[in-house]
Structure 1
Amino acid sequence: MASIIILAVVFVLDVLAFVLAIGAEKRRNTAAYVNVTKDASPYCVYGSDAATGYGIGALALLLAGQVVVMAATRCFCCGRAITPGRWRAFSGFFFITCW
């Protein structure tokens, strides 16, 4: 039962992170082309928008999901160390590649 709850919590966190990432992509900022004088070279000006906040929120939710999984499985820093061997290598590999 506990594993189903953990799966549900991580799934909800990941779905919310996905929704925020899509929202950040939809709210992506556009640049305004500015030419101050005829002699100066033109440049682009970007205004502040909500996309950065959405992206940071998505990152925070993904990190929270990782912390929940690591705490539940007692992996790496959240419990007793895994004994060296095949399973430790697998857990390290999957921890790195999950991102």
Structure 2
Amino acid sequence: MGKPSTGLVCLIFLFHLIAFGLAVGAETRRTTVTWEYDSVGQYYFCKYKLDIASGLAAGGFIFNLLSLVVIMGVTRCFCCGGPYDSGASRSCAIVSLALLWLCFLIAEACFLAGANRNQMRTNTEFFKGTLIPDCETISKGVFAAAAAFTFFSGILSEVYYICTTKSRLDNPQGPARTVGMTTFSQQSPYSL
């Protein structure tokens, strides 16, 4: 059975921590909008405040992706890694791998959708006498969801790596994996 590398565990934790921090930063720096009135043209328009939320979300996307690439490269995605011991560690690795991919895909989708939606600007002008314009901004909580699923994928990647490493067999041809038949052949009543 293998032993997990402390350095790799710390590296994966660091990547997820950075992605989580960038997602929280993107949530706090979302685009804000105000309605302005142009007295010369007599219309309302949307005035957007410049922000860096989309850049932070792109950074979170990259660090989350980088952590998954590293963990899948080290473990060889569980299916190409060699023989594994059947038991609780293997079962835990399979379940955590499935949940890791689910949380990873949801986090990446939130990062992408949030960054894209944060960059959208409506340029509609509403003339005097009409309703105030509906200025589109990103919904509150998209980057927070990305942060939450990044946190879950961080925990699951650590569990997956540790369980995979513990369930990997170092010597698959060892004596614990074979059944000796020599004692049965020596005690056979039909031997000559």
Q: TM-score, normalised by structure 1?
A: 0.69
Structure 2 vs 1, CA of residues 43 and 96 (structure 1 numbering), >3 Å: closer, same or farther? farther
**TM superposition shift of 1:27:** 1.2
Residue aligned with 2:35, SS? strand
CA distance in 2, matches of 1:46, 1:82: 54
Partner of 1:49: 51
Partner of 1:8: 10
> In the alignment, which of 101, 123, 136 is matched to residue 96 of structure 1?
101
Partner of 1:73: 75
1:13-46 deviation per Cα after TM superposition (whole angstroms, max 9, x unaligned):
00111111111111111012245655x6x55343
Residue aligned with 2:5, SS? helix
| Count of residues paired in the alignment | 93
CA RMSD across the alignment = 3.1
Residue aligned with 1:32, SS? strand
Look up the equivalent residue of 1:49 and give its one-letter code: D
Is residue 16–residue 63 contact of structure 2 (8 Å, CA) maintained in 1?
yes
CA distance in 2, matches of 1:29, 1:2: 42
Q: Which has the larger radius of gyration?
A: 2
CA distance in 1, matches of 2:25, 2:101: 26
CA distance in 2, matches of 1:18, 1:82: 32
**Structure 2: segments with no counterpart, 5+ residues:** 84-89, 105-192
1:37-63 deviation per Cα after TM superposition (whole angstroms, max 9, x unaligned):
55x6x5534344211000110010000
Is residue 75–residue 82 contact of structure 1 (8 Å, CA) maintained in 2?
no
Partner of 1:27: 29
Higher RCO by CA contacts (8 Å cutoff, separation 6 or greater): 2
Structure 2 vs 1, CA of residues 81 and 6 (structure 1 numbering), >3 Å: closer, same or farther? closer
Structure 2 vs 1, CA of residues 82 and 33 (structure 1 numbering), >3 Å: closer, same or farther? farther
**TM superposition shift of 1:4:** 1.4
**Structure 1: segments with no counterpart, 5+ residues:** none
**TM superposition shift of 1:93:** 2.1
Structure 2 vs 1, CA of residues 82 and 89 (structure 1 numbering), >3 Å: closer, same or farther? farther
